[in-house]
Structure 1
Amino acid sequence: MATHTSAHKYYVPDQSSWPFMLTLALVLTLGSTAFWLNGHNVIAPYLAAIGLAALLVMVFIWFRDVVHENLGGVYGHQEDMTFRWAMSWFIFSEVMFFAAFFGALFYTRMIALPWLNGEGEKFFTNMYLWPSFEGVWPTNGPGHVGGDFETVNAWHLPLINTVLLLTSSVTVTWAHWGLKEDNRFKLCLGLFLTAALGGTFLYFQAVEYIEAYEHLGLTLGSGIYGSTFFLLTGFHGMHVTLGTLMLTIILLRCLKGHFSSHDHFGFEAVAWYWHFVDVVWLGLFVFVYIL
């Protein structure tokens, strides 16, 4: 085991096989899932389940090792700054990830749609290829390739989910105040409420997806609107799932007394991530559901 001989010496852990094994689990999970989605249903679902199980085990063991390092007192100010910068850059990469999807939505609505409608210098596109195309949003594409569909009512489940996530930002901040005050009850209750709100959000999003597919005719194949709708909301839902899992893990650690008012960056990192998820949803609610 690596030793920490000086309070000012930067801690460098020993070599670990967990990153390589986690990569193998990811390749197995994503690769088999891709085959499964493309109709290879004989063995692909089982390989995907094995890969997912291996992924969860690897993450648990790896996180356990990091928690033990933290509790062992090997991290100092330099390590804390490293973690903060790493989390900041990670969230920045997530901002760029969603910016690409919002950019695709902007390009479709503000540039491609007017072109297809014959505006500007691209009027030949409308004249010779799709003369009957009407550039309105939402669209199922030229020639109605996406079929008929209805949009999701923004003032029903999406509004409820907006209230849930905004409330969860308040509860996680309340939990942070409790941690700074060394109030374990406020901390744990706030985290529990935040995770519960995240789980409720995911439930309502699943209900919304079922309604969209079964009753509204809105699917991934519903033209450019359907694809952008499900890509943006689906990836956000994946981030809410990850955030809820992270909140649950931090709650379990708080119940075991792992954090103090002066040493709790693990909590702060998850809180940062959760606030980011909330901000992204506000953008989705405005630009995907309302406008």
Structure 2
Amino acid sequence: MSAATHHGSTPYYYVPSPSRHPAMAAFGLFFVVLGAGQWVNGHGWGAWSLLVGMLILLSTLFVWFREAIAESEGGMYSERIDVSFRWSMSWFIFSEVMFFAAFFGALYWARVHTLPMLGNLDHQILWPDFKAIWPSAGGGLTASPAGTVEPFATMGPFWLPTINTGLLLTSGLTLTIAHHALIANKRAKTIAWMWITVALGLTFLFVQGYEYAHAYSDLNLKLSSGIFGSTFFMLTGFHGFHVFIGMLMLLFITLRLMKGHFTPQRHFGFEGAAWYWHFVDVVWLGLYFLVYWL
């Protein structure tokens, strides 16, 4: 049951009534994982399982978030709940830092340890044609001298990645302007700058999609293009997915602002989305330097 309170008062720590939402979310995720696993292994019904699971999961999250918003706007969340949300978002972002650290670590290990090791004298008998040059982009320069990795060209920093860097850095600035406008209780200005931020995030995704099309069609750079191709698409692809999630966060925060939600004193929903977006910006800067420049 919910925490007992007098009418119109805020509980010390709000405890919601028992809910079916966690079970329904887990139920939907089960069909998502089952369907995705079967689909990639050639079973056509896996696509339908994936679709059903996504519909269950998204509809559950929609209702769940709507109830949480109603509780927040109804004054049920005290300062203790605010602190709890801040810790939760902090740990979530920390888990995302570790997620990307694993992929950056794979890139580091391949370049600094694996490649030199395969090119040393001990391995010349097994791989006499191998040359320890990064990136391994052509015949005789691959980790597969037998030619199983097709020749490809690498993606440099100019111009699409540099344009996307400018877009993300600008979006971080516009988001900060919107935050200060909200603190100053200038709602119209906040909403305008938030829409600009959302538009910049959406533009980033379109530019990255064009970059991928260029990589596949013009550079023959694919996920199967050796360790360079796999690390390139895993890092940039997962980052693009995080940009998409962050853009959705900012979009829904903007829609809530238009409905009159948040005040200059209490707006952690806004702040949490901003934390996530700035995290995405920082990851991109590391990715831009380590993947496109080095």
TM-score, normalization: structure 2?
A: 0.93
**Structure 1 residue 210 and structure 2 residue 197: aligned?**
no
Q: Which letter maps to 2:236? A: T
Aligned-residue offset at 1:54: 1.8
Residue of structure 2 equivalent to 1:233: 236
Alignment RMSD: 1.3
SS of equivalent residue, structure 2 residue 266: coil
Deviations 1:250-288 (A, max 9, x none): 011000011000010000000000000000001110001
SS of equivalent residue, structure 2 residue 218: helix
Residue of structure 1 equivalent to 2:139: none
Aligned-residue offset at 1:49: 1.8
Aligned-residue offset at 1:3: 4.1
Deviations 1:39-85 (A, max 9, x none): 223x2222222222222111111100100110111111111111101
SS of equivalent residue, structure 1 residue 131: coil
5+ long unaligned stretches in structure 2: 137-141
Q: Distance in 2 between matches of 1:12 and 1:260?
A: 23
Q: Which has the larger displacement, 103-112 or 46-55? A: 46-55
Aligned-residue offset at 1:37: 2.1
**Structure 1 residue 138 and structure 2 residue 135: aligned?**
yes
Q: Distance in 2 between matches of 1:260 and 1:101?
A: 39
1:23-62 to 2 correspondences below 5 Å: 23-41=26-44, 43-62=45-64
Q: Distance in 1 between matches of 2:194 and 2:225?
A: 38
Among candidates 190, 193, 196, match of residue 199 of structure 2: 196
CA contact under 8 A between 2:116 and 2:132: conserved in structure 1? yes
Q: Distance in 2 between matches of 1:213 and 1:30?
A: 28
CA contact under 8 A between 1:18 and 1:58: conserved in structure 2? yes
**Structure 1 residue 100 and structure 2 residue 97: aligned?**
no
Identical residues among aligned pairs (%): 50
Residue of structure 1 equivalent to 2:277: 274
5+ long unaligned stretches in structure 1: none
Residue of structure 1 equivalent to 2:124: 127
Q: Which letter maps to 1:60? A: F
1:154-173 to 2 correspondences below 5 Å: 154-173=157-176
Q: Which letter maps to 2:69? A: V
Q: Which has the larger displacement, 134-143 or 256-265? A: 134-143
SS of equivalent residue, structure 1 residue 146: coil
Aligned-residue offset at 1:27: 2.1
Residue of structure 2 equivalent to 1:262: 265
CA contact under 8 A between 2:124 and 2:130: conserved in structure 1? no
Q: Distance in 2 between matches of 1:40 and 1:8?
A: 51
CA contact under 8 A between 1:4 and 1:74: conserved in structure 2? no
CA contact under 8 A between 2:89 and 2:272: conserved in structure 1? yes
Residue of structure 2 equivalent to 1:2: 2
1:12-31 to 2 correspondences below 5 Å: 12-31=15-34
CA contact under 8 A between 1:101 and 1:232: conserved in structure 2? yes
Q: Which letter maps to 1:136? A: I
Q: Which letter maps to 1:141? A: A
Residue of structure 1 equivalent to 2:178: 175
* Deviation >6 Å, runs of 4+: none
